[in-house]
A = this chain, B = another copy of it.
């Protein structure tokens, strides 16, 4: 299959139709997708829905631990999970560069399909555009998603004493992309942590009533996510550095480069803010999940602070602020 994408694949005519059937319908096949043109139609019970959208422009498109397709499906699933929702339906919009190899597009669609099958999510509607060579960097993908919010999930104001859980080690996605992007002369087995976290919601079950907020620490990393939560809830937090898990290879890269892993993205981790006293029980539940086995309570919100503060391993305290200058762009 040496075929390449041409401008005609985006003109809405015969070639577009063939591309959709040969690649997208083949990988994403389901009755809702192929049922009605222009829009998917499906029945929904009454309740709260979550709706989210994400554009993916990651460079490179294929990286250690995943590709733009796996990242796009996982990212949108994780945003729905962060809203306390079971993800149900996704859309997939492609902007493809003229000359892009059909085989790569096939691989990307295959990754998307695998991530969907793992999680029981369906891609039910899509769109394909093609632009001239050079005006998109290979392919950009938008995935939007709809999920059903767990009836016991009640996002609410964070107060002093609320506990902060992180479901695993940090900065792996951002670091993997950094290593792929620049020829740093480093040998490493660092893989992106990118993957779907939707198993969290059914695992928590009614325990989710003790969760006040969830957030996946993607662009800007753990520090930026915590700062945003702190600012919007007008309360500081204390994070214990020694509770943060950083894989040795990841730590070594950042030590060498003088960069701060707290500002590097994860794409398969979740922050959960729970009511005071509920953290231990919820960590126990999370640790049973393959995707969260390194879950840990990393700190607490504390009215004695008005910012996010990191207590370092040697007992000092350092104020964390939002990311101001990232050294690497297009990590998702």
Q: Which residues of A contact B (CB under 8 A)?
A: 7-8, 10-17, 36-57, 79-80, 82-85, 89, 91-95, 124-132, 134-137, 140, 142, 144-147, 149, 155, 215-216, 218-220, 224, 228, 232, 263, 265, 322-326, 329-330
Contact check: which of B137, B140, B155, B216 meets A41 at CB < 8 Å? B155
Question: A147 vs B40: C-alpha distance in the bound complex, in angstroms?
Answer: 10
Contact check: which of B15, B48, B94 meets A55 at CB < 8 Å? B94
In the assembled complex, which residues on chain B have CB atoms less than 8 Å from the CB atom of A130?
Answer: 329
**A51→B146 contact, CB < 8 A:** yes
Contact check: which of B17, B44, B220 meets A47 at CB < 8 Å? B44
Contact check: which of B49, B125, B228, B263 meets A53 at CB < 8 Å? B125
- Of A7, A53, A146, A263, chain B has the most CB atoms within 10 Å of the CB of A53
Question: A146 vs B42: C-alpha distance in the bound complex, in angstroms?
Answer: 11
Q: A38-B216, A142-B142 are in contact. Are A323 and B49 (CB under 8 A)?
A: no
Question: A219 vs B93: C-alpha distance in the bound complex, in angstroms?
Answer: 16
Q: Knowing that A12-B224, A40-B50 are A-B contacts, what are 17 other residue pairs whose CB atoms are under 8 Å apart, sorted by A's residue number?
A: A8-B325, A11-B220, A11-B323, A12-B323, A13-B220, A17-B322, A38-B79, A39-B51, A39-B79, A39-B145, A40-B52, A41-B83, A42-B48, A43-B49, A52-B91, A57-B129, A129-B330
Q: How many copies does the complex hold?
A: 2
Question: A57 vs B96: C-alpha distance in the bound complex, in angstroms?
Answer: 11
In the assembled complex, which residues on chain B have CB atoms less than 8 Å from the CB atom of A43?
Answer: 46-49
In the assembled complex, which residues on chain B have CB atoms less than 8 Å from the CB atom of A149?
Answer: 41
Smallest Cβ-Cβ distance to A140: which chain B residue: B95
28 contacts between A and B (CB under 8 A): A8-B325, A8-B326, A11-B219, A11-B323, A12-B220, A14-B323, A17-B228, A37-B232, A38-B82, A39-B80, A41-B84, A42-B48, A43-B48, A53-B92, A53-B126, A53-B142, A55-B94, A55-B127, A55-B128, A55-B129, A127-B142, A129-B330, A130-B329, A131-B329, A132-B329, A135-B135, A136-B140, A146-B146
In the assembled complex, which residues on chain B have CB atoms less than 8 Å from the CB atom of A41?
Answer: 48-50, 83-85, 149, 155
Question: A137 vs B95: C-alpha distance in the bound complex, in angstroms?
Answer: 12
